[in-house]
Amino acid sequence: MKHEISMLFLQNYWWCVLSLLTGVVVQMLYVFGGQVLSYQVGKTSMEREMTISVLGHKWGLTLASIATWVAVVWAVFPLMYAVTFSGAHAIWVLILLSYVVTICAYEFRNKSSFIEKGGNLYNKIFTMCGFVVSLLLGVMIASFFTGSPFLIDVHPQTGILSPQWVGIMGGLELFLDFSHYTSYINLSLGLAFVFLSVIMGALYLKFRIENSEVERRATKVVRNNFPFFILFFLFFIVNIWVRAGYEYSAEGYITLTPYKYLINLYQMPHVGFLCVVGFVFMMWGMIKGSRMTDSKGFVYASIGVILTICGLMCSVGLNDTAFYPASGQWIQNSLTIENCSTGRHSMTVMFYISFFLPFVVGYIFYVWRTIDHRRINKDTATRE
């Protein structure tokens, strides 16, 4: 008798994969944080050359991680893709634009015409783009917990689903509409990601650059930004744990359940363990990075960020939880892993294809190690 993989297993499996990818995307924010620091950590032209050299090599992996995340959403949860990229289009356009502008800045930073117009322009572009991407990515992830203003129309004849974003700002109201308390929660995670990206960027520069002045300034950045990250991150965590979450029944009916996200960690102890271990690793990496003589904090913090974000994403999508809640009167339009996934055949085929992912991850790790096999200094910066 042919064994058939259950649909619920496939949906849970792909949400876990998407959660892991989300953790990787957030960890890769260190590239944006590092570029924000290029003129703070690097005071001389040689020091700035070293910071740009170690960051420029990572742009391929950064783009690959976000592209893979989008591809998985499109292939596995197409209704989530439709709501996100058609509804909150302003947020994603700004993120994409920041990527493009940053790449152009990398390409033309050494052009004489660019330099003549003011080297400070390069610093402003990097700072602005790094801030925008980190902030908006945090806001989008926070909205998975707090809800978004959208509804799903069903065509009476064809049955085709048509998502409609009720907000008038294309997603920007998720953190700019201060008449709703959820905007403050969303903004808190966005700001936490801004400080996280800066801290991770500083840790990475310490990890890769062998220069006492760069290391000293990067260490100072970690110390100065660490309290702000903790403040905003804990504000977000406490708020989502004490507020009601979106739970769905076997019939698909959505209800608000008190302490839902905290209960999920209790009812799924492996997810709670993942969050705790990730947070400990993240804190330990940042504490190590705040010491001048320690350059390995980036490794621990990276592991911690990936595990923590992966655990948070699992807590919002598993255990009968609506991971993309529709706010207000449209609560029954909320998206779950069961009502917005693609068909069984597609998910099954992709499930078997995903067995090749370890080879892809192994190749990425190999490329990473090849690029980062040694720390650079002023003698090797120009050859990187």
Using one digit for the tens of pLDDT, what is the confidence trace for 290-314? 888 777 899 999 999 999 999 999 9
pLDDT surpasses 50 at 138: yes
Q: Give 375 or 338, the one with higher predicted confidence.
A: 338
pLDDT surpasses 60 at 383: no
- Total number of domains constituting the chain: 1
Q: CB under 8 Å, gap of 24 or more: what pairs does 278-286 form? A: 278/303, 278/304, 278/305, 278/306, 278/307, 278/308, 278/309, 278/310, 278/311, 279/304, 279/308, 280/304, 281/307, 282/308, 285/203, 286/199, 286/203, 286/222, 286/226, 286/229
**Is residue 191 in some structural domain?**
yes
**Is residue 366 in some structural domain?**
yes
Q: Give 55 or 308, the one with higher predicted confidence.
A: 308
pLDDT digits (tens, 9 = 90+) for 141-196: 999 999 999 988 877 766 677 888 988 888 999 999 998 999 999 999 999 999 99
pLDDT surpasses 70 at 378: no
Q: Tell me the pLDDT band of 18, cut-offs 50, 70 and 90.
A: very high
**Is residue 291 in some structural domain?**
no
Q: By three-state DSSP, how is residue 3 classified?
A: coil
What is the model's pLDDT at position 54? 82
Q: What is the mean pLDDT of residues 354-366?
A: 77
What is the model's pLDDT at position 125? 79
pLDDT surpasses 50 at 112: no
Lowest mean pLDDT of 8-17, 98-107, 167-176, name the range.
98-107
Q: Tell me the pLDDT band of 381, cut-offs 50, 70 and 90.
A: low
Lowest mean pLDDT of 34-48, 145-159, 188-202, 363-377, name the range.
363-377
**Is residue 186 in some structural domain?**
yes
Tokens of 287: 């504490």
**Can you state the angle between helices 297-317 and 269-289, rounded to 10 degrees?**
150
pLDDT surpasses 70 at 99: yes
Lowest mean pLDDT of 193-202, 227-236, 307-316, 364-373, name the range.
364-373
Q: What is the mean pLDDT of residues 244-252?
A: 91
- Give the DSSP letter of residue 83: I
Lowest mean pLDDT of 4-8, 238-242, 335-339, name the range.
4-8
Lowest mean pLDDT of 156-160, 317-321, 362-366, name the range.
156-160
**Is residue 267 in some structural domain?**
no
Query: What letter represents residue 138's amino acid?
Result: G
- Rounded Cα gap, residues 349 and 29, in angstroms: 31
pLDDT surpasses 70 at 264: yes
Q: What is the mean pLDDT of residues 6-26?
A: 93
**Is residue 66 in some structural domain?**
yes
* Owning domain of residue 99: 14-233+340-379
**Is residue 281 in some structural domain?**
no
Q: What is the mean pLDDT of residues 79-106?
A: 87
**Is residue 253 in some structural domain?**
no
